[in-house]
Amino acid sequence: MSIPFGYVLALSGIVVVLGMICAVARRNLIMILLGVEVMLNGAAIAFIGAALRWQQLEGQAFVLFIIAIAAAEVSLGLALIVHLYHRTGSLNPEDYKVLR
């Protein structure tokens, strides 16, 4: 490998953490979804590095799965967010505290 595996993992970790922070620290439902997306992408990076490291093509195949499922999940999530926005007019998670 031209790039050490460690660096790939580090990049993946940074992306995942950035995604966590975005999911947790932003006061917007869409941003939560975005954070989750970013986390998924970080995981995908890790998979690609692993595939390269151990010369197994399954890793790349898994990334295709991740992309597909992320797309499906995002569409579902956005549909829910749109419905919620129509119901309550707010995208701020602080307003969704009914289930204390």
Partner 1 sequence: MAAAGPIDTTLLAALLATQLPFVAFAVILLLTRSRPRFSAGLSLAAITVSLLSAGFLLVRHWGLARPLEYSTLWVASGDVSIRTGFLIDPLSLLMLAVVAAICFLVQVYSLGYMAGDPGFSRYYAFMSLFAWAMTNLTLAHTLLQLYIFWELVGLSSYLLIGFWYEKFSASEAGKKAFVMTRCGDVAFFLGVLLILLHLGNLNILDLNGPAAGRLSPAVVTAGALLIFGGIIGKSAQFPLLTWLPDAMEGPTPVSALLHSATMVAAGVYLFARLFPFFSLSPTALAVCLAVGTVSMLIASTMAMVSRDIKQVWAYSTISQLGLMIMGLGAGNYVAGVFHLTTHAGFKALLFLCSGVFIHSFHSNDMVAIGRQGGRRLRVPMACLVVAAAALSGIPPFSGFFSKELILGALADLPNPLWVAAGLLGAFLTTYYTFRLIFIILFPAEGGPETEHSEDTRHRHDGGYLVMASPLMVLAGVTVFLGFGEGAIARFLTAPSGAQPGASHHAWLPYAALSLCAAALFLAWFEFGRRGAAQVGFVERIVPLHALFSNRWYMDRAYRRLLDHVVYGVFSRLCARNDQKVIDGAVDGLGQATAAAGGLMSILHAGMVQYRLIVVFVSIVFMAIYFFV
Spatial separation of the C-alpha atoms in residues 20 and 87, rounded to whole Å: 27
Residue 100 is a binding residue for partner 1 (CB under 8 A): yes
Q: Which parts of 12-31 interact with partner 1 (CB under 8 A)?
A: 20, 23-25
Nearest Cα neighbor of 5 from 40, 55, 65 is: 55
Residue 66 per-residue DSSP state = H
Choices 48-56, 63-71, 78-86, 88-96; region in contact with partner 1 by CB under 8 A: 88-96
Residues that bind partner 1 (CB under 8 A): 20, 23-25, 32, 93-94, 96-97, 100
